[in-house]
Structure 1
Amino acid sequence: MASKLHQLRSKAVQASEFIAKHGSTYYKELLEKNKQYIVQPPTIETCQDLSKKLFYTRLSSIPGRYESFWKELDGVKHIWRNRQDLKVEDVSIAALFGLELYAWSCVGEIVGRGFTFTGYYV
């Protein structure tokens, strides 16, 4: 156990030395490569302005999303009306998708209970 701790400590030292040597270079390269996304001057006011722009831009996209939702729902209604024309492959894919959603829901419940299967701590 002590040898593993020593190995872990030496790897941490190596990593911190690497970051100390190359971290600022990486930071500068990253900023230089993505400078088209940086708004000047980089102040708190600019950040707050951008935050408001993002919020209201997302808010303005709601009508388009609303329309897309109803188009998707109309497509599902059309498929449901013509369900006798569906192929076995389409039905099996839909069933597998529903099963996957159910499985993820069950896994989410198990994780939410702290990885217990009965909900009670033994």
Structure 2
Amino acid sequence: MASKLQQLQTKAVQASKFVAKHGCSYYKQQLEQNKQHIVQPPTVEKCQELSKQLFYTRLASIPGRYDAFWKELEGVKQIWRNRQELKVEDLGVAALFGIELYAWFCFGEIAGRGFTFTGYYV
């Protein structure tokens, strides 16, 4: 266990040195590549204005997303009404989708606890 901790510590030091050496140039490169997205002048007031624009734009998009949700729900209802005509492949895709949702739920629970596993003794 101590050797693994030492290895982890060594790798952390190496990563820290790499970031210290190359971090500034990477930062400048990213700014240069994405300069078309930078608003001039980059001030706190401009950031607050953009934040408000984003919030109200998202708020304005709710009716469209609401309509899309009900259309999607109507499609699911139609499939449910015609469930006798479903093929095995369709049922398999639905089952995999359900399993994936459950897995994301479990991962979210673990992440919410700070990546700790409760109830298990290792």
| TM tier, smaller | 0.7 to 0.9
Q: TM-score, normalised by structure 2?
A: 0.72
* Aligned AA (1:33): Q
CA spacing shift, 1:91–1:48, aligned 2, 3 Å: same
State which structure, 1 or 2, has the greater radius of gyration over its C-alpha atoms. 1
Q: Structure 1, unaligned stretches of length 5 or more?
A: none
* Aligned AA (2:29): E
1:26: how far off? 1.8
* Aligned AA (1:45): E
34-43 or 89-98, which deviates more: 89-98
When the two chains are superposed, the root-mean-square deviation of aligned CA atoms in Å is 3.3
CA spacing shift, 1:35–1:108, aligned 2, 3 Å: closer
CA spacing shift, 1:100–1:32, aligned 2, 3 Å: closer
1:75: how far off? 0.3
CA spacing shift, 1:7–1:66, aligned 2, 3 Å: closer
Q: TM-score, normalised by structure 1?
A: 0.72
The answer on 1:69 being equivalent to 2:69 is yes
Share of identical aligned residues, percent?
61
Q: Structure 2, unaligned stretches of length 5 or more?
A: none
1:7: how far off? 8.6
> How many residues get paired?
115
1:96: how far off? 3.4
